[in-house]
Every structure is written in structure tokens, then in C-alpha cells.
Structure 1
């Protein structure tokens, strides 16, 4: 099980009231929510291995160079990512808690969690479940990789394989990124091709496949193009030359070997006890330990 960590702790932060605090008054709603959601996932899905994938660079320079509007709307006035003031201090404490529990985390300088998820899912040989609220990750779905989409919440996970992606969006999962490039995605600052909506994008991807093949067909005047779409594609050639590499998850992220087995007992019990006392997270930690023991067999 590969967790899109930021996706889950942002969801936890907004799902659990900010009034949930540590004994000293600090907010711990994201920590408690993340642990409870993760415990629920482990308990329900029973993975033997688990990794929280991190955004060590939430807006990589290589993506901004390709698409300057990429996540531009999320930049804080002072620079950096616009993260709620009450969430930012919780993230290091959450990572400390995961380390004390013995649960693996993975990230790489210059890359987003999306890239780490894509690399780890691609290089593994076991069945993989990717937990995320980012629809771009639907491109990872294969017969071996299932995307557990959290858009409707952890209690209503959508298990998305190739058949489910095609049924919902009308495109092959391996070309979901091409579909997103054409359609655009405001949440990532991706403009899309002017005048090309979801239906036209799905039709083009279903017929021609990758953006590069769509562009080639538009240039040659292939008769299979919907009326008027070829001109719209030709008007966006510069964008279409750059955007695919910005949207597709990287498969070459330098993530070393991981001890990602779910342990039956915490790796650092003393540190875990100290964190539980400091943060007042005894309930979530107990639930996580119970789930870990069940998963570890």
C-alpha cells in the first residue's frame, strides 16, 4: 500500500475539528485523522507492506519550466506552498510518529509524491494499492496496480483498475494523463486545450492514444478527428509539446531500497510513548498498532 501522504493529511486536517488539541493546546487534528484513516485502511485492506510517499518538492522546477501556470495558484504570498498555519507544524510530528511506529516513508529531493508513487508502483512486482485523492494517479492503474481514490472519503473508497477508469472517464488508464493534458485541470493550474472539453478529450485519446499521436494526427488532417478539434489542437502545439512531461508521473525517482514491511510492534517504543504523552494521541496510536498487528499476522 502506497499512501499519498499530503493528500491524506490535508484531508485529515479538514475532516477533524481544529479544536482537537494536544494537552498543551497545540492542534493535532491532522495527526489524529491521518493515523485513524491509515489504521482503517490497513485494517480493511490488510497490506503486508506500507509506504507514506512525501512531497519533498511540491512544485518541481522542471514542471514549472514546462507549464509556468503549474500549481501557481497554490503559491503563498511569501513564496512556498500555501499550507494552513495550523497544519504545517503537525507534519514533522506526524512523520516522527510514523518513524516510531516503524512505518516507512519515502521521498526524493526535486520530486513530488506523485513521482514517488509512480516509481514505487512501477518498480514493484507485487500487487500494489495506491491511496490518493489525486485523479492524475489513475494513470497508474493496471491489472497489478489498483488506485484507491479517496475523493468521496476513506469510508467510500473507489477501487479503480483499468476497467473502472475506462468506464468512468472513457479512456484507457495508461492514457489518463493525456486526457488530463487535453481537458485541463484547474486544481493543478493546467490550462488544457482551449475549446476541448472532457468529451472531446476522451474521444481523441480513445482513438489516437498519447498526446504526441493526437498532435501527429491533427497535423496530417486525419479524418477521424471530431469536427473542429484538429484546429484547436494545432493552435495549442507549444502547450502540447511541453505539458505531457509535466503531467505524467516520473518512473525514475531516486528512491533507495525500503524496509516497508508492516511491523507487528513499534520500532521505537520509548519514543512512541513520549509522542503519545506529548500529543495526546493514545487512541489513534492504539488503533494503528492493532491494525498493524493484524496485518503483520
Structure 2
């Protein structure tokens, strides 16, 4: 019997990866019935490549059970508002639909089938985003190093060297071939925040500068550089807000005025930007990654059905060689 793998816990941002796979591979790649399978093929290849590169002992594909959580929208109504599907009926009750390409939606179910047959765990938390699932699993991990895989820079807030185990982010925003592994040192060097608390400092910097892609306006007149300088000097959003409210604090008059004007935003956005770290996470199965698929015959059959034989074989090979 081969020895168990001793590699890291790999946490994949599911939607981030299959959206990238969908847009990276032409839709003309279809199954025998004409159904596009570009995302299935691309996502399966990504997982195979990640397993081969990082040799994880455990792996979880993290899911958005609510991509636009109510508590975040209640605090900042513009949160991800630009991504809401145009077809969402007025007055709809419950989570609104995210704008997703029609040909991607059915492929997500196919991807779930592939993951189940491969024996790869998925996990979600009711009412929360994949970011919150990742944030919780990375925070509570006490056994092995963690590598988060995502094209979302928001997850840089999770990086840490201490306390052990280490948490790094494998950022795939420019594609897997150009992916970069980020820890506190890399986040500090790139964004000018203190290395000692680079993760949370990054989140606070992002809160100040805002993020148009997430519908977060930021503080008017404060960009990346000035946001990093303020967080470096004062340590946190909370300390910065306190300084803005204190007329005797060492804060420039112009900056104080901007912060005071944005006080309501800052109070709300801090909670919106920071990921949840204590979610109740439910798993499809245990997160241990075996060296062979849970159901090899089913996995190979799915590869044939979804015109993904080569990616499936690469995944099987990657599992076996860890």
C-alpha cells in the first residue's frame, strides 16, 4: 500500500474556475448531443493540473450557495448589483439570479457529476458565498498548509505565515499558466501593506479604495497608494475611523474630511469585504484526496459522454502520481 499524501489542503473557488474555463475554451466544443462542454473540459483540466502541481493531501471545491448574501446587500445595496440577471422578476423573494451564460448553467451540473465520480469533495454554506466557505476552512485548519485557488483578489485577505499552518493564495486571474503563489511577503511587496498582518490589511485597503466589479464605491479621493499608507500608519479600518472622529489625531485635514464623509460606507463595507470565518460548512464527502477515483467506471463514462476523455484521463493520472 502506498503512503498517504502529505501535501497541502487545496481549496478551489469553484465558480471562479469554471467561469474562467468557460471563457477560455470555445463553445464549439460539444458533446455528441450538441451540448457545449467547454467549461467541463476546461475545469477538469484545471483540477488535474492543480493536483499535479501541488500534490494536495486534501481538496475541496467550494461553492456559492448564495452568490449575493442578504447581509451584504442589506449593508451595501449596490453589492454585486451589476451582475444581477436582467430577467429577474421585480419583487422576487429570495436570492436573485446571477447573470450566467445559458450554456454554462447545465455544465455546472456536469462538473458536479465529474467531481462526485472522481471522489473530490464539494462544500458550501447556506446563505453564503464560496469566499466565506474558503475563509472558514482556511481559518480553522490546524493540520496542513492551505493553498487557496481563485481568480478573486479578495481572497488575498486570507494569507498568513503565522500562526501555523501557512495560508497562501494561488492567484489564477491571468490564467493557470501565469498563476502566482501569494503569501504575506508577496501581498506586502505588491500593495504596500505591512507584512505582519498583510491579509487583513489588504482587506482594509480594498475597503478604502473600493471595487467597482463588486459594486463597492470606496472612499472618494482615496486610491491604492493612499489607502495602503493609511492602513500602514493606523493599522486597521477601525483605528482609522477612530482617528477620523478624533480632532486631535494625526490625520491630514483633507483625508479626515474624506473619511468623515464616507463614515456610513466604511462602517458597512468592513463587514461586506471581510470574509466570514465561522460559517457552518456542509461537505458532499470527506475532503481526503484518494489516489484513485471513487467510481472509475462512472468517471470514464462521463468523460466519454461529455467529450472530455482526455481531461478525465489527465485527472486520473494526476491523482495516481501524487
Q: Same fold (TM over 0.5)?
A: yes
Q: 2 CA distance for matches of 1:43 and 1:226?
A: 51
Q: 1:102-251 to 2 correspondence within 5 Å?
A: 102-125=119-142, 126-143=144-161, 144-171=166-193, 172-221=198-247, 223-226=249-252, 228-251=254-277
Q: Tell me if structure 2 keeps the 8 A contact 1:20–1:27.
A: yes
Q: 1 CA distance for matches of 2:105 and 2:87?
A: 15
Q: Which residue, out of 78, 95, 99, partners 2:112?
A: 95
The Cα of 1:256 is off from its aligned counterpart by 4.3
Q: Tell me if structure 2 keeps the 8 A contact 1:204–1:225.
A: no
Structure 1 stretch displaced more, 148-157 or 94-103? 148-157
Q: 2 CA distance for matches of 1:194 and 1:161?
A: 29
The Cα of 1:274 is off from its aligned counterpart by 3.0
Q: 2 CA distance for matches of 1:42 and 1:277?
A: 22
Q: Tell me if structure 1 keeps the 8 A contact 2:244–2:260.
A: yes
Structure 2 residue matching 1:47: 3-state secondary structure: coil
Match of 1:44 in 2: 53
Q: Tell me if structure 1 keeps the 8 A contact 2:62–2:133.
A: yes
Equivalences, count: 295
Match of 1:266 in 2: 293
Q: Tell me if structure 1 keeps the 8 A contact 2:117–2:298.
A: yes
Q: 1 CA distance for matches of 2:178 and 2:281?
A: 31
| Alignment deviations for residues 100-119 of structure 1 (CA, whole Å, 9 cap, x no partner) | 10001101110000000000
Match of 1:294 in 2: 321
Structure 2 residue matching 1:228: 3-state secondary structure: helix
Q: 1 CA distance for matches of 2:241 and 2:18?
A: 38
Q: 2 CA distance for matches of 1:117 and 1:37?
A: 18
The Cα of 1:199 is off from its aligned counterpart by 1.3
Q: 2 CA distance for matches of 1:230 and 1:141?
A: 30
The Cα of 1:51 is off from its aligned counterpart by 0.6
Q: CA RMSD in A?
A: 1.3
Q: 1:72-91 to 2 correspondence within 5 Å?
A: 72-79=81-88, 80-91=97-108
The Cα of 1:210 is off from its aligned counterpart by 1.8
Structure 2 residue matching 1:52: 3-state secondary structure: strand
Structure 1 residue matching 2:58: 3-state secondary structure: coil
Match of 2:77 in 1: 68
| Alignment deviations for residues 133-190 of structure 1 (CA, whole Å, 9 cap, x no partner) | 1111000000100111112211111111001001000112222111111100011111
Q: Tell me if structure 2 keeps the 8 A contact 1:37–1:154.
A: yes
Q: Unaligned regions of 5+ residues in structure 2, if any?
A: 1-9, 89-96
The Cα of 1:226 is off from its aligned counterpart by 4.3
Structure 2 CA distance for partners of 1:222 and 1:152, relative to 1, 3 Å: farther
The Cα of 1:263 is off from its aligned counterpart by 1.2
Q: 2 CA distance for matches of 1:216 and 1:24?
A: 61
Q: Tell me if structure 2 keeps the 8 A contact 1:200–1:226.
A: no
Structure 2 CA distance for partners of 1:164 and 1:222, relative to 1, 3 Å: farther
Q: 2 CA distance for matches of 1:163 and 1:265?
A: 36
Q: Unaligned regions of 5+ residues in structure 1, if any?
A: none
Q: 2 CA distance for matches of 1:292 and 1:89?
A: 26
